Amino acid sequence: MSLFKKFFGSGNDSSDEEKDSDYNPFSLDNTPIDELFTLNFKKNGGKFLYCENMGEVKTHFEDILEENDWFESEAVCYEPKLFSLLDENKLNYNKPENPKFLLASCENLIADEGSILFSSNQIKQNKPLELPANIIIMATTSQIIGSKSDGLREIKKRYERDYPTNITTIKYFEKAKEEDFLHYGSVAKNLYLLLLEDL
């Protein structure tokens, strides 16, 4: 999908930064949902790594580890389906004492606010404040939805019996330059999103 390549590209182009600074939420009525998520997620300070296949997911994951010098360190991960990624890179996730990051999937990616929707399936009963400052999320393009209410409906459909608890979002991925009422009570996280194309 060339649209994602356009948005997930280098991210260093000054023209992209100019477009972001001209962001006007009122002109996005007809914006495709994936594009809207991309704009809002970047505006919140999130870091994208677009992946066309699992090989690219593994490569980008190793790039993140190298960039932050996290090789052979400790991580938090509650999802067995992600353990192999940690095992391949010699990362300890069994009762970590000083984890460098959280590796998790998510319930959905919320387009209208550029946030990540989690539940107890990914973060157990931890509040965002109790999670490591660094987070690496693995998600797919099919998980992008319009709003939080859409996300709650999806959770209700997906889990007919074992309804998860601790449903929460993380929206801010860098510390606000000036504290304002919109950031009150929120915790900024250094968040990387490994977004796998599945549409």
Can you tell me the distance from the alpha carbon of 145 to that of 172, in angstroms, rounded to the nearest whole number? 18
User: What is the sign of the dihedral through the CA atoms of 86, 158, 54 and 8?
Assistant: negative
CA 133 to chain centre: 13
Note whether 144 and 34 are within 8 A (CB): yes
3-state secondary structure of 145: strand
Given this model, what pLDDT does residue 31 score? 86
Helix (H) or strand (E) holding 7: helix 2-8
Given this model, what pLDDT does residue 84 score? 96
Give the pLDDT confidence of 172-193 residue by residue, as tens digits. Answer: 887 655 555 444 445 789 999 9
- Tell me phi and psi for residue 67, to 5 degrees: -60, -35
pTM for the model stands at 0.82
Given this model, what pLDDT does residue 16 score? 46
3-state secondary structure of 24: coil
Note whether 182 and 145 are within 8 A (CB): no
The two structure tokens encoding residue 24: 């006007």
Give the pLDDT confidence of 13-40 residue by residue, as tens digits. Answer: 444 444 444 454 444 568 899 999 999 9
User: What is the sign of the dihedral through the CA atoms of 148, 150, 151 and 157?
Assistant: positive
